[in-house]
Structure 1
Amino acid sequence: MSLWIDMVGTEIRTVNTPTFGRIRIAEAGPKDAPAILFQHGIGGHLEAYSKNLVPLSDEFRCIAFDYVGHAMSNRKAMEYTPPVLAEQVAELMDALELKKAHLSGESLGGWVSGFFSVIHPERVDRLMLNTGAGIPIVSDKGRADMLDLMERSKKAAGLAPTFESVKHRIAWLIHPKNQHLVTDELVNLRLKFYLMAEGREVTPMVNRMLGRHDEFLLPLEQIRHETMLLWTRDNPIHDLECAQAAVKRIRNSSLYVMKADGAHWPQYEDPEEFNRVARAFFAGRPL
């Protein structure tokens, strides 16, 4: 099935922010419903949430967006760090006239969401760190996974990205049992973004965040919101041991481990389970 069939029912448009320029968003759900901001991973794009926006839009105002430097948002030459991207979230919320929102972030999205919750605590309802980055890597395998991701990202978004290099990068996100999800359509979409002229210059700047991971570890003890770490048994880099250590440092937090097979994209690998858990968590209901 095409991911664009999953996106039927969303409104895709751009909004302007003062510092970061044009930001592409996809939105579904009533304007007066509680809002959830869904945030993708490094080198990614809002289509990472193509299977979640419409199913959850009956109860929430669901918004996914491209970070600055990614996909169809403004490709700006600048220093990229999670705290800087947290300010993009603030400006986007202002543009959308959102005083407060739930946050759900995958990988880089979780990293940025965690910083946003500390920098702008008054603007956050509930916080979901979905296989999020920014927590200490505690295993040798995790450190090896990081080096692997850095190499795949360099090849996928370098001077001459190819279908095969991008497919190799996306395959890293997906559990071996779910590799059928790495479709030609998904690969070609990301390849299109990487081949854009401005992307050739800016994407390597974005990818430098990987090498600076430990400079920007999340201040976990400063997170005060009701928080869920949604994890998989086979998440690369930040394995389950990382999540178990991190949840002990966050007040009012819980750890949910996906029952389905998944790696780094549980919202895409098993959207039915992800959507059920997200719906309950953001509504404040028991699972």
Structure 2
Amino acid sequence: MTIWNDFLGCEVRYIYTPTYGRVRIVEAGKGEGKPPLFFLHGIGGHLEAYAKNVKPLSDDFHVIAYDFLNCGFSEKMDTVFNPVTLSKQLAEIMDALGYKKANISGESLGGWVAGTFAGMYPDRVIKIQLNTTGGIQITSEQGKKDLVELVELMKKSAGTPTYESTLLRMQWLMHESNHHLLDEELVGTRLSIYTHPDMSVANKSIGEFAASDHHAFDIPLDKIKCPTMFLWTRDNPIHTLDAAELACSKVGGARLYVMEADSKHWPQYEAPEEFNRVTRSFFKA
């Protein structure tokens, strides 16, 4: 099934923010009095990561997925790129859409931003779901090796991206049993983003963040006061399951859910039925 069949019934549009310019969003369930649910993608990603979640969850929520600053087809700026900047962008997006507070689910860097946002703006969060999130302690040697591998793959994609380098970058996201999901449309969509002329500006800021001391931006777990779910997989790279258990123990009342289906770093796309069921249950409770 094509991505755009998944998005049938959704609206794709651009909104404008005072500081961060144009933002591409996709949404469903708008204008029906439903609580907002924002989906935040990972580093080097884009809103198509949530093609299998926006419409199905719109029965219960006004679902919004969007491209971060310097990602996808949102504004490209020569500016600092980190979870704090992206949290400020999210605040302006919520303002533009008329929401004082919202539910937030983020994957990888998106989870890092969700957790950072919850610490910076506690009054603007209903619940958060940290999906294979970054911004927590790496607890294994394999995790450190995974991070090095990711940075190298990002460098190849940012240099002179090809279909092959983009495919390798996306295979890193998925369990090997799910590599068949990486069809020409999905990989081609990412390649078209990576080869856009404006990406040279974006790659500079993203690369600087990737090469920085990440611990300076760790999620302030002790400041998260809202209901929190850590959603994990048994094969997640960089942050293994014990890292998730440790981080979860530092957030009062947080719960950890481990996916049953084979999935790695993109469970929302690899196992959407399970992900959507668990996500709906958590945010509706």
For the superposition of Structure 1 and Structure 2, which TM-score range results when normalised by the shorter chain? over 0.9
Q: Which moved more, 1:101-110 or 1:181-190?
A: 181-190
Q: CA deviation at 1:201?
A: 2.6
Aligned to 1:239: 240
1:67-82 superposed matches below 5 A: 67-82=68-83
Contact 2:78-2:204 within 8 A present in 1 as well: no
TM-score by length of 2: 0.98
Q: CA deviation at 1:203?
A: 1.9
Contact 1:70-1:203 within 8 A present in 2 as well: no
Q: CA deviation at 1:269?
A: 0.2
Corresponding residue SS for 1:132 = coil
Matched AA of 1:176: E
Corresponding residue SS for 1:80 = coil
> Is residue 2:57 matched to residue 1:56?
yes
Matched AA of 1:30: K
Q: Distance in 1 between matches of 2:235 and 2:266?
A: 11
Q: CA deviation at 1:57?
A: 0.4
Matched AA of 1:57: S
Aligned to 1:7: 7
1:167-199 deviation line (CA, Å, top 9, x unaligned): 010010000111101111111100100111110
Aligned-residue CA RMSD (Å): 0.8
TM-score by length of 1: 0.97
Q: Percent identity?
A: 49
Q: Which residues of structure 2 form unaligned runs of 5+?
A: none
Q: Distance in 2 between matches of 1:7 and 1:235?
A: 27
1:210-260 deviation line (CA, Å, top 9, x unaligned): 233222111111111100000000000011010011111001200000000
Matched AA of 1:192: S
Q: CA deviation at 1:79?
A: 1.2
Contact 1:137-1:242 within 8 A present in 2 as well: yes
Contact 1:42-1:207 within 8 A present in 2 as well: no
Q: Distance in 2 between matches of 1:184 and 1:204?
A: 27
> Is residue 2:208 matched to residue 1:221?
no
Matched AA of 1:99: K
Contact 2:77-2:201 within 8 A present in 1 as well: no
Q: Distance in 1 between matches of 2:61 and 2:196?
A: 33
Corresponding residue SS for 2:22 = strand
Q: Distance in 2 between matches of 1:218 and 1:59?
A: 28
Contact 1:131-1:229 within 8 A present in 2 as well: yes
> Is residue 2:95 matched to residue 1:94?
yes
Aligned to 2:84: 83
Q: Distance in 2 between matches of 1:47 and 1:157?
A: 19
